[in-house]
Amino acid sequence: MKDDMAKKLWGGRFSGNTLSEVDAFNASVGFDYKLWAYDIQGSLAHVRMLARQKILKRAEAQKIEKGLKSIAKDIEHGRFRWRIDQEDVHLNIESELIRRIGPVGGKLHTARSRNDQVALDLRLYCRHQIHRLQTQLAGFQKSLVKLANRFIKTVMPGYTHLQRAQPILLSHHLLAYFEMAERDKERLRDLSKRVETLPLGAGALAGTTFSIDRHLVAKEVGFDRVASNSLDAVSDRDFAVELISDCALIMAHLSRLAEELILWSSLEFNFVQLPEGFCTGSSMMPQKMNPDVLELIRGKTGRVFGHLTGILTVLKGLPLAYNKDLQEDKEPLFDAVETTQTCLHLATELLEQTSFKEENLRRATHEGFVLATDLADYLASKGLPFREAHHVVGRIVRYAQARRLSLEELNLSILKQFSKKIGPDVKKWLNLQCSIDRRKSYGGTATAQVKLQIRRAEKILSRA
């Protein structure tokens, strides 16, 4: 046969050609070429096992191994030509191997299907990207700790409902994002255990008649476990869903930080000075400095969320085992991972060059009655039930608000009109620094507690 079907590695069953539109629609090499290094890594482990099990002669295995390494070198240096007529990364590499070393190259696929092959490639890809994400998250955390150390004395209003609530340290606020990133790292660590499960040897769906050693292959690629069910091995994409889900949570955390920095950089807040290199101007308004990087991080969060919905939708109705629908797992996975990595990198670099306006942050704590809770706590410490104290302070706030005064500006005689329990010692409670340092409960905003949080964070990072 001289037609195109004769050139396709699976073409023996067919007497005619597929339509060119079908070839284009069916092909995945336009995106799955990114798996080439993992594909060759898995093939090298597979061929070594075949030789050790005497399924292939040692000389044949050595020839295949040499051919695969030469292909890898050419791909790495941009000398490899990816062909759409070979559909995917696997067939492109295998057909080139046969072209280079002859028919013996066709023995590489002994005891293997593209179904278990691609499942291994994806798992190897995910393992690598998990490690990259963990490293990037640690870098992000280091930038937060650096800022927390630098601004350890900076006071700011803490917010609930975007309303000023209680005074806190800026460092305390920044370290909240350290904790989010630490949970992100924990989730990725936990996912690694499930990713490192070998599917190779499952064949198309039912295993293989050859006397293979799957545990040997697992050891070769550094996996701890071997998939126990061949049907599940080739159709499982839970690990890809989990990785996209983890990326979605990382992006949610970055988006929250981006939103706050966008708000804080506005004149209405004026808490932060963003580095110019991460902002752009307006084509019409010459005064503008727009926080485009932060806005794009916030916007790209929806993109990653969409990928999570997309892959779940692909999987939700698939019968066992492999179906071509699973080709649709790669683009959302690749894009979610790459988008998250880019956003993490830019967020980290931006934080390294961000400066906070300490005087403006402190000034903001003098508005909004942020010491109201302290006054209620003071009354409770004098024996007044907290709910009654809360009511008393609410009336004091209303009185001060009507006269455009702060709680600190009310003299003792006025305060005593609302409660006889208020004495001269109340002034120690209506003090920003005292308010902060009284919150000594573990994890609180007291300076001593925040310093403990920083030391804990530094210890975590030293183990990374």
- All structural domains of the chain, each given as residue ranges with its CATH number in brackets, are 4-110 (1.10.275.10), 115-162+169-357 (1.20.200.10), 364-462 (1.10.40.30)
Average pLDDT value for the chain: 95
pLDDT in tens, 188-222: 999 999 999 999 999 999 999 999 999 999 999 99
Of 20, 266, 282, 355, the catalytic one is 282
pLDDT in tens, 265-284: 999 999 999 999 999 998 89
The per-residue pLDDT for 89 is 98
Of 161, 211, 413, 441, the catalytic one is 161
pLDDT in tens, 313-345: 999 999 999 999 999 999 999 999 999 999 999
Mean pLDDT for the stretch of residues 159-163: 96
pTM for this model (two decimals) = 0.93
pLDDT in tens, 169-187: 999 999 999 999 999 999 9
pLDDT in tens, 397-449: 999 999 999 999 999 999 999 999 999 999 999 999 999 999 999 999 999 99
243 touches 191 (CB < 8 A): yes
282 labelled catalytic: yes
Mean pLDDT for the stretch of residues 66-83: 98
Residue of 139, 163, 168, 166 whose CA lies nearest to 151: 168
Mean pLDDT for the stretch of residues 124-151: 98
Mean pLDDT for the stretch of residues 225-251: 98
d(CA 233, CA 226): 9
Query: Is residue 26 very low, low, confident or very high in pLDDT (cuts 50, 70, 90)?
Result: confident
Q: What are phi and psi of 357, to 5 degrees?
A: -90, 90
Say whether pLDDT at 1 is over 70: no
128 labelled catalytic: no
Say whether pLDDT at 2 is over 80: no
The per-residue pLDDT for 13 is 66
